[in-house]
Chain A
Amino acid sequence: MDNHSKYTQAFVKVFSVQKDVVEDLEYNAISAWDSLGHMGLIAELEEAFNIQLEMDDIIDFSSYKKGLEIISKYGVEL
């Protein structure tokens, strides 16, 4: 599985959504992406890519698209 697919799969797994809807997801836009869901997503991505996100990046991680930029900063090619 390539990194982009792993990234998408994290959203699918944590929020129990279909793959074709994840690109438009934003924090609090669906009930599953609440505060607890946010922490679950961050933990899932950290494990998937073996990275440790900085606090500011966790706060800025407000959408699927924004997350692509953030994860890329950690040397993950998406």
Chain B
Amino acid sequence: MSDNKGFSLNCTQLLDYQPNRYPFLMIDHIEEVVPGKYAKGYKNLTNNEWYFPVHFPGSPNMPGALQLEALAQTLTVAITTLPGLKGKVTHALQHMVRFRKEVLPGDKLIIETHVLSWKRGICKGVGVAYTGGELACEADMLIAIPEIFEQYLPKKNSTIG
């Protein structure tokens, strides 16, 4: 998986590249990923999602924080599919997100993320998500693989933050 050819990941294969698990895995399927370049996938939102009964009773919609999480998790896959990074844990460093519409039970959240740069354990990227052919949210994201990133920090207090 070190070349520039795209491939897909089903819900089982995805678990090798995305460390999040139920109830916090926000992607069902990666339709195409080109390691280090981009990842595109989706999340089908059923009435049974754990957050709909509480967010909100009588007016269920996907929390914005979880929409952003879906974008970040998809961007993560574009990085963790690079050679030697399978299964690595990523952390969020800085995100800027804009929400455009409510994401509702029954929607298919289609996610597209692109890597702008990947250097020293830090990925700068962008992502958009759609439902019903309309933009639902978009984000500029900065994620890191601490195991790599922290190797470059001055030794005192060398933790993220």
Contact = CB atoms under 8 A, between A and B. Distances in A.
Given A35-B160, A39-B120, A39-B149, A62 B94 contact: no
Interface residues of B, number: 19
Contact of B151 (A43, A55, A62): A55
Contacts of A27: 153-154, 156-157
Nearest to A36: B93
A54 B130 CA distance: 41
A44 B58 CA distance: 49
Interface string B75-94: 00000000000000000011
B155 interface: yes
A14 interface: no
Interface residues of A, number: 15
A60 interface: yes
A73 B21 CA distance: 47
B161 to A, nearest CB: 6
B150 interface: yes
A59 B155 contact: yes
Contacts of B158: 35
Contacts of B68: none
B10 interface: no
Contacts of B70: none
B39 interface: no
A61 interface: yes
Contacts of B119: 43
Interface in A20-45: 27-28, 34-36, 38-39, 42-43
26 contacts: A27-B153, A27-B154, A27-B156, A28-B156, A34-B161, A35-B150, A35-B153, A35-B159, A35-B160, A35-B161, A36-B93, A36-B94, A36-B160, A38-B152, A38-B153, A39-B149, A39-B152, A42-B152, A55-B151, A55-B152, A58-B120, A59-B154, A59-B155, A60-B154, A61-B154, A62-B156
